Chain A
Amino acid sequence: MNAMEAMLNTEDDALLDVQHLTMRFGGLTAIDDLSFTARRREITSIIGPNGAGKTTVFNCLTGFYKPTVGCLLLKHPQKGDYFLERMEGFRIAQVGDVGRTFQNIRLFPKMTVLENLIIAQHNRLMKASCFALAGLFGLPRYREAEKAAVDKARFWLDRVGLIPRADWEAGNLPYGDQRRLEIARAMCIDPCLLCLDEPAAGLNPRESLDLNELLLSIRDEQGIGILLIEHDMSVVMGISDHIVVLDHGRKISDGDPEFVRNDPTVIRAYLGEEEGDDDHA
């Protein structure tokens, strides 16, 4: 009975179903027949040595690349199912509510922190401003919508500790703040799936710990699924519910942290057959 319920739950909770994803660039196969499932209220990590194709998975998911083969099914809890590989890039964020961050931070550097977060709410504000018409004449409807947008931005700024720096130019922020701002910005689109590309890269241990807490709280409070690419094993092992290991574009392991940690194939991929090189881990 209990097992049955658990199974039903997992069925229900599936958020993203990646099936047979393959991506080739000319002769190079970056991802080779990858299948995995990410669930709601779970942090799914994709790990693997450099060049394993992790970021390419994200780029396929968020529409920057069109997969050569494969099916990316997003089961949006409110809106229904979407085949992401058939959608134009911006529609995946607009309709599918998939938010993402980038390995090399992509903020709007000349705009302020607050503006960065307001832009993330573009589509909602656009509707409220009747495509700029209501806004142009300063109708109350738009003013309220903008106030709501500022409140949402304030909420996330508070969560990442950037309230005092809300009016800074984003490009002037220290590195760690930029990383957190990018996460806050992605959260402002109200995602059902949040894809984070190496959010802990370049953070000091203290910031890294804060990040863990932030991600766990996002998972628990917002109830969304998080897809995480990370090299920092303390982050990955500490907070992941589920880990997918890639090597040379192929999935070599899939399971909970305990399972992956002890999987001999994973150890071999990271440490090599003979020579030890544990820089990655």
Chain B
Amino acid sequence: MAYFIQQLINGLTLGAIYGLIAIGYTMVYGIIGMINFAHGEIYMIGAFVSVVTYLILSALGLGYVPLVLLVMLMTSMLFTSVYGWSIERVAYRPLRGAPKLAALISAIGMSIALQNYVQLTQGARVKALAPVISGGITLMESDGFTVHLSYLQMFICVLTVVLMVGFSFLIDKTSLGRQQRACEQDRTMASLVGVNVDRTISMTFVMGAALAAVAGMMVTLYYGVVDFYIGFVAGMKAFTAAVLGGIGSLPGAMLGGVLIGLIEAFWSAYFTIEYKDVAAFSILVLVLIFRPTGLLGKPEIEKV
């Protein structure tokens, strides 16, 4: 039981991270109908920016943990959003209206280029970071097994919830959110009623990148190691999460992320850790076969 609860906690933490990345996929897919293949790299870039920020802060001798976290969060969101914006501008905007596959290839190319750009500029070696937040609380003890909830895990979960609440507010209540939803429904119509479609799409990329940056920072803190290759696998799983939850649905992305996190945690705990990715993908395939629109996606009526 204790072991189970521990895995639950680990899975939720991991799921929160996947969920934040998945939102970027789902939003971009919702608005321009393409898989933003480079989104995983955005997350990786977010992680690197937070590493660099941390190094600057420690070079400056700043040690007050909440301040460090806040600055890391802000800088990684800021810098990574600019990456998100530029990618859209360079690789996707010229291809709007082109065959779907062209945009996908462009995205894959962008992903490869970014990965290697970071490898070139930051080196191929794994970056290891000293833990910023340590310690935690012991929740329960049974059968000689302690359930441990670290402050870091709490931080990740709380931050995710806060971001989700803020983000839902942004989408539901603000004019930007309304424009974004309008473009999702019908881009031509939205532009006719005066929505600046280009800007809205750019903002979508910026928002997605900012959330991915947070995920990147969390991973940096959580695992303490970062390399240029983390984007691919995480991106793939986050996309799986988005599809699992029903692509285009924001709560779905979060739910899908949490599910993927849990599946991974429990599979690693009770079966084999090597095959945890296989488990995640197999479940994706099963969900798609039996519920092709994902868990929270709206059923689609075929237009004939």
Interface of B is mostly: loop
Residue of B nearest to A59 (CB): B304
- A64–B301 Cα distance when bound, in Å, is 10
Q: CB of B302 within 8 A of chain A?
A: yes
In the complex, which residues of chain B have a beta carbon less than 8 angstroms from the beta carbon of A102?
304
User: Quick one: which of B254-304 are within 8 Å of A by CB?
Assistant: 301-302, 304
Whether the pair A55, B301 counts as a contact (CB closer than 8 A) is no
- A59–B302 Cα distance when bound, in Å, is 10
Q: CB of A137 within 8 A of chain B?
A: no
In the complex, which residues of chain A have a beta carbon less than 8 angstroms from the beta carbon of B302?
64
Residues of A within 8 A of B (CB): 25, 55, 59, 64, 102
- A55–B301 Cα distance when bound, in Å, is 14
Residue of B nearest to A26 (CB): B299
CB of A189, distance to nearest CB on chain B (Å): 17
- A55–B303 Cα distance when bound, in Å, is 11
Q: What are 6 A-B residue pairs whose CB atoms fall within 8 Å in the complex?
A: A25-B301, A55-B304, A59-B304, A64-B302, A64-B304, A102-B304
Residue of B nearest to A103 (CB): B304
In the complex, which residues of chain B have a beta carbon less than 8 angstroms from the beta carbon of A55?
304
In the complex, which residues of chain B have a beta carbon less than 8 angstroms from the beta carbon of A25?
301
- A102–B302 Cα distance when bound, in Å, is 13
Residue total for B at the interface (Cβ-Cβ under 8 A): 3
In the complex, which residues of chain A have a beta carbon less than 8 angstroms from the beta carbon of B304?
55, 59, 64, 102
In the complex, which residues of chain B have a beta carbon less than 8 angstroms from the beta carbon of A59?
304
CB of B159, distance to nearest CB on chain A (Å): 38
CB-based closest 3 A-B pairs: A64-B304, A59-B304, A64-B302
CB of B99, distance to nearest CB on chain A (Å): 11
Residue of A nearest to B302 (CB): A64
CB of B109, distance to nearest CB on chain A (Å): 25
Residue of B nearest to A25 (CB): B301
Residue of B nearest to A64 (CB): B304
User: Quick one: which of B133-169 are within 8 Å of A by CB?
Assistant: none
CB of A199, distance to nearest CB on chain B (Å): 16
- A25–B299 Cα distance when bound, in Å, is 11
A55, A59, A102: most-surrounded residue (chain B CB, <10 A) = A59
- A55–B304 Cα distance when bound, in Å, is 9
- A102–B304 Cα distance when bound, in Å, is 7
User: Quick one: which of B224-280 are within 8 Å of A by CB?
Assistant: none
CB of B297, distance to nearest CB on chain A (Å): 15
- A242–B237 Cα distance when bound, in Å, is 58
- A131–B301 Cα distance when bound, in Å, is 33
- A102–B303 Cα distance when bound, in Å, is 11
- A25–B304 Cα distance when bound, in Å, is 15
- A25–B301 Cα distance when bound, in Å, is 9
CB of B301, distance to nearest CB on chain A (Å): 6
- A276–B149 Cα distance when bound, in Å, is 72
CB of B114, distance to nearest CB on chain A (Å): 34
- A64–B300 Cα distance when bound, in Å, is 13
CB of B43, distance to nearest CB on chain A (Å): 37
- A64–B304 Cα distance when bound, in Å, is 8
- A64–B302 Cα distance when bound, in Å, is 8
Residue of A nearest to B299 (CB): A26
Residue of A nearest to B301 (CB): A25
In the complex, which residues of chain A have a beta carbon less than 8 angstroms from the beta carbon of B301?
25
Residue of B nearest to A56 (CB): B304
- A55–B302 Cα distance when bound, in Å, is 13
Residue of B nearest to A62 (CB): B304
CB of A91, distance to nearest CB on chain B (Å): 17
- A265–B304 Cα distance when bound, in Å, is 30
- A82–B221 Cα distance when bound, in Å, is 65
- A239–B121 Cα distance when bound, in Å, is 75
Contact with A along B59-83 (1 / 0, CB 8 A): 0000000000000000000000000
CB of B102, distance to nearest CB on chain A (Å): 15
Residue of A nearest to B303 (CB): A104
CB of A269, distance to nearest CB on chain B (Å): 25
- A59–B304 Cα distance when bound, in Å, is 8
CB of B89, distance to nearest CB on chain A (Å): 31
CB of B132, distance to nearest CB on chain A (Å): 50
- A97–B302 Cα distance when bound, in Å, is 22
Contact with A along B91-116 (1 / 0, CB 8 A): 00000000000000000000000000
Residue of B nearest to A55 (CB): B304
CB of B292, distance to nearest CB on chain A (Å): 16
CB of A217, distance to nearest CB on chain B (Å): 27
Residue of B nearest to A106 (CB): B304
- A66–B301 Cα distance when bound, in Å, is 12
